[in-house]
Amino acid sequence: MFGTLLMGLTFSLTSFACVGPFVGPLLASSVTSEGVQPVVGMASFATGLASPFFFLAAFPSYLKKLPRSGGWLARVKVVMGFVLLAVMLKYLSTIDQVLQTGILTRERFLAVWIVLFSMAGLYLLGLLRLEGIEAGEKLGIGRLLTGGAFLVLAFSLIPGMFGAPLGELDAFVPPAQNSGFGGLSAARAPTWMKDQYREALERGRAENKLVLVNFTGYACTNCHWMKANMFRRPAVAAALEEFVRVELYTDGLDERSKEFQRMEEERFQTVSQPFYVILDADENVVAQHSGIARDEREFLDFLARRI
C-alpha cells in the first residue's frame, strides 16, 4: 500500500508540469468568470484525460490487442531519451535568452541537436551499441526508415550553423546574432532598434517617417518565426525599409521590459507577442496587427496602411 501511494504521488508531481498550463488558467477563470467557460474547459480536460482509462475498463478485451512489451519498447525508451534531451535544451535556451547570458548560442544549440539526432539515428541503424538492440539483430524496415529520418533531420540542421534559414525550425532555435557564423544570416535581415522607443520617435520626426513598433519577446517562438521567415522576404524587407523600426521586449527581467509590458497592456489592451503597431511622430496609432502572420499579402497590407 505504501508503494502504491508513493507511485501515485510521484505520478501526480511529474504529470502536474504537463497539465499545469491547462488547469491553471481554467482554475483562475473559474474565480474571475461567471460563465460556463470554466465548466466546459474542465469537463473537456477531464474527458480527454480519463477517456483511455474508461474505454480500456469498459472493453477489457482490447487490452489483449495492445502491443506486448519487448525489445521494441527498449528501443522506444532510448530514442525518446534523445528526443527529451533535445526538448530540454530548447527550454534551457529559452531561459538563456531571457537572462541574456549568451551561453547557448545558435551554433552551440544546433551542434548539440545535430549530435543528439545523429546518435538516435545511428542507434536505430545498429551502429551505436545501447540497450534494446542485440548484436547481429536483423534490421527491419521500420527501424531503417526511422533511423534514416533522424539522420536526415540532423544533417539538415548543419547549414543553420552557418547562418542559413531553417524554415519552421527557426521558431525553436536561438536567433542568429551578429557574430560567428550567424552574422552571415543576420546581415541580410532588416535591422531594428532595440528598446529605444523615444529615440525611434525622434528619428521618425527627423526623417519624416512612420514608426513601426514590434512588441516582441526573447522566448516568443512566433516572434522568432517572423524574424527568420517573414521579414527576410524581399517584398516585406523592402516595405520595412519605409519605417523607423524598433523592437520592444516585454519578457525580460529588467525594468525596461516591465515598462514596455505595461505600455502594451494599458494602451493597447493586449499582451500578445508579437504585436505590431504603426505610429506617427506624435504617437497616434495608424494601424496595428496582433500575432503571427503567415500570409505575406496580409502582412504587406498591414504595412501599406498610411495616414
pLDDT, one tens digit per residue, over 58-113 is 887 777 777 776 677 888 899 999 999 999 999 899 899 888 888 989 999 999 99
Using alpha carbons only, how large is the chain's radius of gyration in Å? 25
Band (pLDDT 50/70/90 cuts) for residue 180 is very low
State the CB neighbour count (10 A cutoff) for residue 243.
Answer: 20
pLDDT of res. 37: 79
> Which stretches of 220-306 are DSSP H helices?
221-225, 234-240, 255-268, 296-303
Nearest CA to 177 out of 291, 114, 93 is that of: 93
State the CB neighbour count (10 A cutoff) for residue 109.
Answer: 23
C-alpha distances in angstroms, 295 versus 103, 226, 229, 301? 34, 11, 11, 10
15 vs 131, residue with greater confidence: 131
pLDDT digits (tens, 9 = 90+) for 248-284: 999 888 899 999 999 999 898 888 889 999 998 888 9
32 vs 196, residue with greater confidence: 196
pLDDT of res. 182: 44
pLDDT of res. 164: 84
Q: What percent of the chain has pLDDT over 90?
A: 42
As a whole number of angstroms, the distance between CA 291 and CA 216 comes to: 10
Q: Which fold has domain 193-303?
A: Glutaredoxin (3.40.30)
pLDDT of res. 248: 94
pLDDT of res. 34: 65
Q: Which residue has the cell 505520478?
A: 11
The conformation of residue 69, written as its DSSP 8-state character, comes to: P
pLDDT digits (tens, 9 = 90+) for 10-64: 877 777 667 777 777 777 777 766 678 788 888 888 888 888 888 878 887 777 7
Q: What percent of the chain has pLDDT over 70?
A: 91
